A and B are shown apart, each in its own frame.
Chain A
Amino acid sequence: NAGVTQTPKFRVLKTGQSMTLLCAQDMNHEYMYWYRQDPGMGLRLIHYSVGEGTTAKGEVPDGYNVSRLKKQNFLLGLESAAPSQTSVYFCASRTTYYEQYFGPGTRLTVT
């Protein structure tokens, strides 16, 4: 039981490049989330999904897209990376009772 895994762990992009972050969970959770964490800002919700085939915007969705084609996977895409998207990205899945399980994070630097 691996829990929540994220790929890659680190990435450096140039401004304007695109990339996809992969999140996978093996706990059969319906809800999945993408957050970004910046110094002094806590966690900010980017997008979330309440089940396979669904996605919805969170607090800071601009510049990001997501897809949930399979229940166990939740992908976060950056179409045209900007330095403001330098951050640590966390994926999480959630039980029915609001308990969230987080992945180890992806450290992204955009130069």
Chain B
Amino acid sequence: GNSVTQMEGPVTLSEEAFLTINCTYTATGYPSLFWYVQYPGEGLQLLLKATKADDKGSNKGFEATYRKETTSFHLEKGSVQVSDSAVYFCALGSNSGGYQKVTFGTGTKLQVIP
């Protein structure tokens, strides 16, 4: 079946540091890939997406590239801010056994300190 693996958190960075959160996946066919962000006390929000190999999703300074050869979709940001502190979820959407399913990773908590 489909699965998503994210790096364990928490990740603690200083403001303006470079961020990478690793995400790898297992899926049949041609899944769509997503990053969601959850701020404290809120629901998940879609951050960015990519629907085919080599696509780059981007939003709010965050980027992720759909790498089919390495089955990865790593999240990056060049300079993090305190306001980026949140939990980040990698997710995959695909047709699996005739059912359109979305699979989430377990989340990576990011803490940015001033």
Contact = CB atoms under 8 A, between A and B. Distances in A.
A104 B43 contact: yes
A42 B44 contact: no
Interface in B89-108: 89, 91, 93-94, 100, 102, 104-107
A99 B100 contact: no
Interface of A is mostly: strand
Interface stretch (B17-25, B45-53, B61-69): B45-53
Q: How many of chain B's residues touch chain A, expressed as a range?
A: 20 to 34
Given A90-B44, A105-B42, A42 B105 contact: yes
Interface string B16-40: 0000000000000000101010000
A31 interface: yes
A100 B42 contact: no
B34 A99 contact: yes
Nearest to B92: A98
Given A31-B100, A43-B89, A103-B43, A98 B32 contact: yes
Interface of A: 4, 31, 33, 40-43, 90, 92, 94, 97-105
Given A43-B89, A43-B107, 20 more contacts: A4-B43, A42-B89, A42-B105, A43-B44, A43-B104, A90-B43, A90-B44, A94-B102, A98-B94, A98-B100, A98-B102, A100-B36, A100-B44, A100-B91, A100-B102, A102-B43, A102-B44, A104-B43, A105-B41, A105-B43
Interface of B: 32, 34, 36, 41-46, 49, 51, 89, 91, 93-94, 100, 102, 104-107
